[in-house]
Amino acid sequence: MTLRQLALEALVMPDPAAKVRAVHALWQAAEGLPLDVDAVLAEPAGLPGRPNRPRLVAPKDVPTRSPHTPEGRAALLHAIAHIEFNAINLALDAVWRFPGLPRAYYLDWLRVADEEATHHMLLAGHLATLGHAYGDFPGHDGLWTMTWRTRDDFIARMALVPRTLEARGLDATPPIQAKLRRAGDLRAVAILDVILRDEVGHVAIGNRWYRWACERAGEDPLTLYPTLVARHRAPPLRPPLNREARLRAGFSEAELAWLESPDGL
Protein backbone atom coordinates (compact mmCIF):
# COMPACT_ATOMS: atom_id res chain seq x y z
CA MET A 1 0.00 0.00 0.00
CA THR A 2 1.06 3.59 -0.57
CA LEU A 3 1.71 6.19 2.08
CA ARG A 4 -1.49 8.04 1.16
CA GLN A 5 -3.58 4.87 1.34
CA LEU A 6 -2.15 4.06 4.76
CA ALA A 7 -2.88 7.60 5.93
CA LEU A 8 -6.51 7.09 4.91
CA GLU A 9 -6.58 3.77 6.77
CA ALA A 10 -5.35 5.52 9.92
CA LEU A 11 -7.90 8.29 9.47
CA VAL A 12 -10.83 5.85 9.55
CA MET A 13 -9.65 4.15 12.76
CA PRO A 14 -12.04 5.07 15.59
CA ASP A 15 -9.90 4.10 18.58
CA PRO A 16 -7.54 6.92 19.61
CA ALA A 17 -4.77 4.64 20.89
CA ALA A 18 -4.87 2.50 17.74
CA LYS A 19 -4.85 5.62 15.56
CA VAL A 20 -1.85 6.98 17.43
CA ARG A 21 0.06 3.70 17.02
CA ALA A 22 -0.76 3.58 13.31
CA VAL A 23 0.37 7.17 12.76
CA HIS A 24 3.64 6.66 14.62
CA ALA A 25 4.34 3.48 12.63
CA LEU A 26 3.51 5.20 9.35
CA TRP A 27 5.82 8.11 10.10
CA GLN A 28 8.65 5.73 10.97
CA ALA A 29 8.15 3.86 7.68
CA ALA A 30 7.41 6.91 5.50
CA GLU A 31 10.71 7.23 3.66
CA GLY A 32 10.50 3.67 2.37
CA LEU A 33 6.89 3.74 1.21
CA PRO A 34 5.63 4.45 -2.31
CA LEU A 35 3.61 7.66 -2.51
CA ASP A 36 1.67 7.68 -5.82
CA VAL A 37 0.96 11.40 -5.69
CA ASP A 38 -1.31 11.27 -8.75
CA ALA A 39 -3.74 8.68 -7.41
CA VAL A 40 -7.28 9.92 -6.78
CA LEU A 41 -8.40 7.87 -3.79
CA ALA A 42 -12.03 6.98 -3.17
CA GLU A 43 -13.45 8.56 -0.04
CA PRO A 44 -14.94 6.03 2.38
CA ALA A 45 -18.06 6.71 4.41
CA GLY A 46 -17.81 7.78 8.01
CA LEU A 47 -14.82 10.12 8.01
CA PRO A 48 -13.18 10.72 10.35
CA GLY A 49 -12.88 7.61 12.48
CA ARG A 50 -13.43 8.55 16.11
CA PRO A 51 -14.71 6.93 19.30
CA ASN A 52 -18.31 7.10 20.55
CA ARG A 53 -17.16 9.49 23.27
CA PRO A 54 -16.70 12.39 23.77
CA ARG A 55 -20.23 13.51 23.06
CA LEU A 56 -20.09 16.28 20.44
CA VAL A 57 -21.97 19.51 21.15
CA ALA A 58 -22.04 23.02 19.72
CA PRO A 59 -18.97 25.08 20.70
CA LYS A 60 -21.12 27.38 22.84
CA ASP A 61 -22.37 24.34 24.79
CA VAL A 62 -18.95 23.10 25.89
CA PRO A 63 -18.88 23.95 29.61
CA THR A 64 -16.13 26.20 30.91
CA ARG A 65 -14.79 25.37 34.34
CA SER A 66 -12.20 26.87 36.62
CA PRO A 67 -8.74 25.30 36.25
CA HIS A 68 -8.27 25.93 39.97
CA THR A 69 -10.37 22.85 40.82
CA PRO A 70 -9.28 19.30 39.89
CA GLU A 71 -12.47 18.74 37.88
CA GLY A 72 -12.16 22.05 36.09
CA ARG A 73 -8.51 21.45 35.26
CA ALA A 74 -9.39 18.03 33.88
CA ALA A 75 -12.12 19.58 31.72
CA LEU A 76 -9.68 22.16 30.34
CA LEU A 77 -7.03 19.56 29.54
CA HIS A 78 -9.67 17.31 28.02
CA ALA A 79 -10.67 20.14 25.66
CA ILE A 80 -7.07 20.45 24.50
CA ALA A 81 -6.72 16.66 24.14
CA HIS A 82 -9.84 16.74 21.97
CA ILE A 83 -8.32 19.45 19.77
CA GLU A 84 -5.15 17.39 19.39
CA PHE A 85 -7.12 14.26 18.45
CA ASN A 86 -8.96 16.24 15.78
CA ALA A 87 -5.63 17.66 14.64
CA ILE A 88 -4.39 14.10 13.96
CA ASN A 89 -7.41 13.60 11.72
CA LEU A 90 -7.03 16.86 9.81
CA ALA A 91 -3.34 16.16 9.15
CA LEU A 92 -4.12 12.65 7.87
CA ASP A 93 -6.87 14.09 5.71
CA ALA A 94 -4.39 16.54 4.19
CA VAL A 95 -2.14 13.60 3.28
CA TRP A 96 -4.65 11.36 1.52
CA ARG A 97 -7.15 13.80 0.03
CA PHE A 98 -5.18 16.06 -2.31
CA PRO A 99 -3.34 14.46 -5.26
CA GLY A 100 -0.69 15.93 -7.52
CA LEU A 101 1.40 17.79 -4.94
CA PRO A 102 5.14 17.63 -4.22
CA ARG A 103 6.43 14.74 -2.12
CA ALA A 104 7.55 17.22 0.55
CA TYR A 105 3.92 18.26 1.09
CA TYR A 106 2.82 14.75 2.06
CA LEU A 107 5.80 14.21 4.35
CA ASP A 108 5.19 17.58 6.01
CA TRP A 109 1.61 16.68 6.87
CA LEU A 110 2.48 13.17 7.99
CA ARG A 111 5.02 14.68 10.38
CA VAL A 112 2.27 16.96 11.68
CA ALA A 113 0.04 13.93 12.26
CA ASP A 114 2.85 12.17 14.14
CA GLU A 115 3.44 15.15 16.42
CA GLU A 116 -0.28 15.68 17.04
CA ALA A 117 -0.53 12.00 18.02
CA THR A 118 2.22 12.56 20.59
CA HIS A 119 0.42 15.63 21.93
CA HIS A 120 -2.84 13.73 22.34
CA MET A 121 -1.21 10.90 24.26
CA LEU A 122 0.71 13.29 26.52
CA LEU A 123 -2.55 14.97 27.47
CA ALA A 124 -4.44 11.68 27.80
CA GLY A 125 -1.73 10.38 30.10
CA HIS A 126 -1.90 13.49 32.26
CA LEU A 127 -5.70 13.29 32.35
CA ALA A 128 -5.35 9.80 33.79
CA THR A 129 -3.40 11.22 36.75
CA LEU A 130 -6.42 13.46 37.41
CA GLY A 131 -8.78 10.47 37.40
CA HIS A 132 -10.20 11.05 33.93
CA ALA A 133 -9.95 9.66 30.39
CA TYR A 134 -10.47 11.10 26.95
CA GLY A 135 -14.21 11.07 26.35
CA ASP A 136 -15.25 11.98 29.90
CA PHE A 137 -16.28 15.52 28.92
CA PRO A 138 -18.17 16.83 25.87
CA GLY A 139 -16.31 18.37 22.94
CA HIS A 140 -17.08 20.30 19.78
CA ASP A 141 -16.31 19.59 16.15
CA GLY A 142 -14.96 22.95 14.96
CA LEU A 143 -11.67 21.73 13.51
CA TRP A 144 -13.22 18.90 11.53
CA THR A 145 -16.11 21.10 10.38
CA MET A 146 -13.67 23.43 8.61
CA THR A 147 -11.69 20.46 7.33
CA TRP A 148 -14.88 19.16 5.73
CA ARG A 149 -15.91 22.54 4.32
CA THR A 150 -12.57 22.84 2.51
CA ARG A 151 -12.43 19.26 1.22
CA ASP A 152 -12.70 20.41 -2.42
CA ASP A 153 -10.50 23.52 -2.16
CA PHE A 154 -6.81 22.94 -1.50
CA ILE A 155 -5.93 26.63 -1.15
CA ALA A 156 -8.77 27.15 1.31
CA ARG A 157 -7.68 24.11 3.32
CA MET A 158 -4.19 25.51 3.75
CA ALA A 159 -5.52 29.00 4.49
CA LEU A 160 -8.23 28.16 6.97
CA VAL A 161 -7.21 25.06 8.91
CA PRO A 162 -3.51 25.34 9.86
CA ARG A 163 -2.99 29.08 9.50
CA THR A 164 -6.40 30.11 10.90
CA LEU A 165 -7.85 27.55 13.31
CA GLU A 166 -4.59 25.98 14.45
CA ALA A 167 -2.94 29.38 14.63
CA ARG A 168 -5.51 30.32 17.25
CA GLY A 169 -3.70 27.88 19.51
CA LEU A 170 -0.57 30.02 19.30
CA ASP A 171 -2.58 32.88 20.79
CA ALA A 172 -4.49 30.83 23.37
CA THR A 173 -1.73 28.64 24.80
CA PRO A 174 0.29 31.17 26.86
CA PRO A 175 -2.79 32.45 28.78
CA ILE A 176 -3.87 28.85 29.45
CA GLN A 177 -0.38 28.06 30.70
CA ALA A 178 -0.56 31.02 33.05
CA LYS A 179 -3.82 29.69 34.53
CA LEU A 180 -2.40 26.20 34.95
CA ARG A 181 0.76 27.57 36.52
CA ARG A 182 -1.32 29.48 39.05
CA ALA A 183 -3.22 26.26 39.73
CA GLY A 184 0.08 24.50 40.41
CA ASP A 185 -0.11 22.04 37.49
CA LEU A 186 3.44 22.33 36.24
CA ARG A 187 3.24 19.04 34.33
CA ALA A 188 0.42 20.45 32.21
CA VAL A 189 2.44 23.62 31.64
CA ALA A 190 5.38 21.54 30.42
CA ILE A 191 3.16 19.54 28.05
CA LEU A 192 1.81 22.77 26.59
CA ASP A 193 5.40 23.96 26.10
CA VAL A 194 5.92 20.96 23.81
CA ILE A 195 2.65 21.57 22.01
CA LEU A 196 3.31 25.29 21.48
CA ARG A 197 6.79 24.58 20.11
CA ASP A 198 5.47 22.02 17.64
CA GLU A 199 2.39 24.05 16.67
CA VAL A 200 4.61 26.92 15.51
CA GLY A 201 6.05 24.46 13.03
CA HIS A 202 2.61 23.18 11.99
CA VAL A 203 1.33 26.68 11.30
CA ALA A 204 4.54 27.37 9.38
CA ILE A 205 3.79 24.34 7.19
CA GLY A 206 0.33 25.75 6.52
CA ASN A 207 1.78 29.14 5.64
CA ARG A 208 4.36 27.59 3.33
CA TRP A 209 1.89 25.49 1.36
CA TYR A 210 -0.73 28.24 1.27
CA ARG A 211 1.79 30.58 -0.35
CA TRP A 212 2.98 27.82 -2.68
CA ALA A 213 -0.61 27.18 -3.77
CA CYS A 214 -1.27 30.89 -4.26
CA GLU A 215 1.83 31.26 -6.42
CA ARG A 216 0.78 28.26 -8.50
CA ALA A 217 -2.70 29.76 -8.97
CA GLY A 218 -1.45 33.31 -9.64
CA GLU A 219 -3.16 34.66 -6.50
CA ASP A 220 -1.92 37.16 -3.94
CA PRO A 221 -1.93 35.45 -0.52
CA LEU A 222 -2.86 38.59 1.41
CA THR A 223 -5.75 39.69 -0.78
CA LEU A 224 -7.14 36.18 -1.33
CA TYR A 225 -7.31 35.34 2.36
CA PRO A 226 -10.36 37.50 3.31
CA THR A 227 -12.27 36.03 0.36
CA LEU A 228 -11.61 32.51 1.63
CA VAL A 229 -12.58 33.49 5.18
CA ALA A 230 -15.93 34.79 3.95
CA ARG A 231 -16.58 31.94 1.49
CA HIS A 232 -16.03 29.21 4.07
CA ARG A 233 -17.35 31.08 7.11
CA ALA A 234 -14.19 30.89 9.17
CA PRO A 235 -14.69 31.86 12.81
CA PRO A 236 -13.38 35.24 13.98
CA LEU A 237 -10.08 35.57 15.79
CA ARG A 238 -9.90 36.19 19.51
CA PRO A 239 -7.34 38.89 20.35
CA PRO A 240 -4.68 39.44 21.46
CA LEU A 241 -2.51 37.70 18.90
CA ASN A 242 0.74 36.01 19.90
CA ARG A 243 2.76 38.08 17.45
CA GLU A 244 6.11 36.53 18.36
CA ALA A 245 4.90 32.97 17.75
CA ARG A 246 3.02 33.96 14.60
CA LEU A 247 6.09 35.65 13.16
CA ARG A 248 8.14 32.50 13.85
CA ALA A 249 5.37 30.52 12.13
CA GLY A 250 5.82 32.56 8.96
CA PHE A 251 3.18 35.27 9.14
CA SER A 252 4.34 38.55 7.65
CA GLU A 253 3.97 41.92 9.34
CA ALA A 254 1.44 42.88 6.66
CA GLU A 255 -0.66 39.80 7.45
CA LEU A 256 -0.54 40.48 11.18
CA ALA A 257 -1.51 44.11 10.62
CA TRP A 258 -4.58 43.00 8.66
CA LEU A 259 -5.49 40.36 11.24
CA GLU A 260 -5.31 42.97 14.01
CA SER A 261 -7.40 45.46 12.05
CA PRO A 262 -11.18 45.75 12.52
CA ASP A 263 -11.66 43.83 9.28
CA GLY A 264 -9.40 41.01 10.41
CA LEU A 265 -10.71 40.55 13.93
- Write the pLDDT tens digit of every residue in 164-220: 999 999 999 999 999 999 999 999 999 999 999 999 999 999 999 999 999 999 999
Region 155-167 average pLDDT: 96
User: Residue 203: which of 254, 169, 227, 253 has the closest Cα?
Assistant: 169
- What 20-25 contacts at long range (C-beta under 8 Å, 24+ apart), as own/partner pairs, is 20/88, 20/117, 20/120, 20/121, 23/88, 23/92, 23/110, 23/113, 23/114, 23/117, 24/114, 24/117, 24/118
Contact 199, 176 (CB under 8 A): no
Q: What is the pTM of this model?
A: 0.96
Degrees, nearest 5: CA angle 222-223-226: 95
Residue 117 belongs to a domain: yes
Residue 42 belongs to a domain: yes
Residue 17 belongs to a domain: yes
What span, in angstroms and rounded, lies between the C-alpha atoms of 17 and 20? 5
Residue 93 belongs to a domain: yes
Residue 264 belongs to a domain: no
Q: Would you say residue 58 has pLDDT above 90?
A: no
Residue 265 belongs to a domain: no
Residue 163 belongs to a domain: yes
Degrees, nearest 5: CA angle 211-36-1: 130
Contact 163, 210 (CB under 8 A): yes
Total domains in the fold of the chain: 1
Contact 100, 38 (CB under 8 A): yes
User: Residue 199: which of 156, 250, 135, 159 has the closest Cα?
Assistant: 250
Region 50-70 average pLDDT: 87
Domain with 157, as residue range(s), is: 3-259
Q: Would you say residue 265 has pLDDT above 80?
A: no
Residue 44 belongs to a domain: yes
Based on its alpha-carbon atoms, the radius of gyration of the chain, rounded to whole angstroms, reads: 18
**In angstroms, what CA-CA distances link 2 with 95, 132, 140?**
11, 37, 32
Contacts of 211 (CB under 8 A, 6+ apart): 221
